């Protein structure tokens, strides 16, 4: 007689409550991301929440799952999708994704997947289109190859227009929030934003018309952070990984870029050489 291995218990409405993400859930979400090994501080969650709606899964009042949908015009990013390790294999990830896909509506949906999450996202209609390389470390001092100077919040409208051309994401509000707490770096053919995040600082986005400009912006960020921790999330096809390595930022993982209901985009002179974050594109 063969005895089948029992399947993990499926979710029951009596056990798990999925509800809208509210401020009261932030501490629980922070605990969950820390247990997953993510470096997010309260401030990093708050930045993402400033442009997002989302849901949490609660078990006996404790947060055991999160998922956010950040909307940027015709595109939305699915992010901060976390399931407590003790709750995996019960369909909770699928339940959370169903909720945030609904929040995204008819928009093009994007996310950065881990290898573990890839099968679920493929079942939900997401298609891989590239990779993202996370690089980080103690930044080395260097001199930019092209002139780079500081910008101000007054530059954000023009920068957001360039960012929209490069990414398809309409996120003037997000860029303004980052500029208010970080540094705006400008060169003739591009810009970048530098802010506090996790263990130190993060550079992103980097938006430019050419590799030389993007390299100069990254070098200036490294110069400003020399001797301190700096992170950058790079599209694999941007050609910036080797430059980041020379600036002290080594490979530290990454993910698979995916889209659902992808839209045709108008060609642009601008390109995204580094993301705001894996969560926010």
pLDDT in tens, 96-155: 999 999 999 999 999 999 998 999 999 999 999 999 999 999 999 999 999 999 999 899
263-273 pLDDT, tens digit per residue, is 998 999 999 99
Assigned CATH for 17-106: 3.40.630.30
Q: What does the mean pLDDT of the chain come to?
A: 94
The DSSP code sequence of 178-196 is: HHHHSEEEEETTEEEEEEE
Q: How far apart are CA 233 and CA 252, in angstroms?
A: 10
Token pair belonging to 125: 């209609």
Q: Give the three-class secondary structure for 265.
A: coil
Q: How far apart are CA 74 and CA 67, in angstroms?
A: 19
Q: Residue 7 has what DSSP assignment?
A: P
Q: Which pLDDT belongs to residue 15?
A: 86
Q: Which pLDDT belongs to residue 12?
A: 56
CATH architecture for the domain at 133-274: 3-Layer(aba) Sandwich (3.40)
Domain boundaries, the chain: 17-106, 133-274
Q: Which pLDDT belongs to residue 1?
A: 28
250 beta partners: 136
Q: Which pLDDT belongs to residue 8?
A: 40
The distance of Cα 14 from the centroid of its chain, to the nearest Å, equals 33
170-227 pLDDT, tens digit per residue, is 999 999 999 999 999 999 999 999 999 999 999 999 999 999 999 999 999 999 999 9
| Surface-to-core class of residue 271, CB atoms within 10 Å of its CB (0-12 exposed, 13-18 middle, 19+ buried) | buried
Strands 229-235, 127-138: parallel, antiparallel or unpaired by DSSP?
antiparallel
Q: Which pLDDT belongs to residue 6?
A: 30
Q: How many CA atoms lie within 13 A of 156 on its CB side?
A: 17
Q: Which pLDDT belongs to residue 7?
A: 38
Domains 17-106 and 133-274 share a fold: yes
pTM value? Answer: 0.93
Q: Which pLDDT belongs to residue 9?
A: 42
38-79 pLDDT, tens digit per residue, is 999 999 999 999 999 999 999 999 999 999 999 999 999 999
pLDDT cut 90: percent of the chain above it = 92
The DSSP code sequence of 29-41 is: HHHHHHHHT----
Peptide bond between residue 205 and the one before it cis (omega within 30 degrees of 0): yes
| Surface-to-core class of residue 56, CB atoms within 10 Å of its CB (0-12 exposed, 13-18 middle, 19+ buried) | buried
Q: Which of 132, 107, 117 is nearest to 281 (CA)?
A: 132
């Amino acid at each position: 007689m063969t005895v089948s291995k029992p399947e993990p218990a499926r979710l029951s409405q009596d056990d798990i409550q999925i509800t809208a993400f509210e401020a009261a859930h932030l501490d629980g979400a922070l605990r969950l991301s820390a247990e997953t090994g993510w470096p997010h501080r309260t401030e990093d969650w708050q930045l993402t929440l400033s442009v997002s709606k989302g849901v949490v899964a609660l078990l006996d009042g404790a947060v055991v799952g999160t998922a956010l949908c950040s909307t940027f015009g015709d595109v939305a990013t699915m992010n901060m999708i976390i399931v407590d390790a003790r709750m995996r294999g019960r369909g909770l990830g699928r339940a959370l994704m169903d909720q945030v896909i609904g929040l995204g509506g008819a928009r093009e949906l994007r996310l950065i997947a881990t290898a573990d999450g890839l099968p679920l996202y493929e079942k939900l209609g997401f298609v891989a289109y590239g990779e993202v390389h996370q690089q980080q470390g103690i930044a080395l001092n260097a001199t930019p190859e092209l002139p780079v100077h500081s910008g101000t919040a007054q530059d954000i409208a023009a920068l957001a227009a360039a960012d929209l051309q490069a990414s398809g994401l309409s996120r003037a509000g997000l860029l303004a929030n980052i500029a208010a707490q970080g540094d705006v770096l400008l060169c003739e053919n591009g810009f970048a934003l530098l802010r506090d995040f996790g263990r130190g600082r993060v550079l992103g986005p980097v938006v430019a018309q050419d590799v030389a400009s993007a390299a100069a912006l990254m070098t200036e960020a490294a110069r400003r952070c020399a001797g301190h921790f700096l992170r950058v999330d790079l599209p694999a096809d941007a050609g910036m990984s080797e430059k980041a390595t020379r600036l002290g930022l080594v490979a530290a993982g990454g993910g698979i870029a995916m889209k659902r209901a992808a839209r045709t985009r108008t060609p642009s002179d601008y390109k995204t050489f580094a993301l705001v974050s894996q969560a926010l594109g």
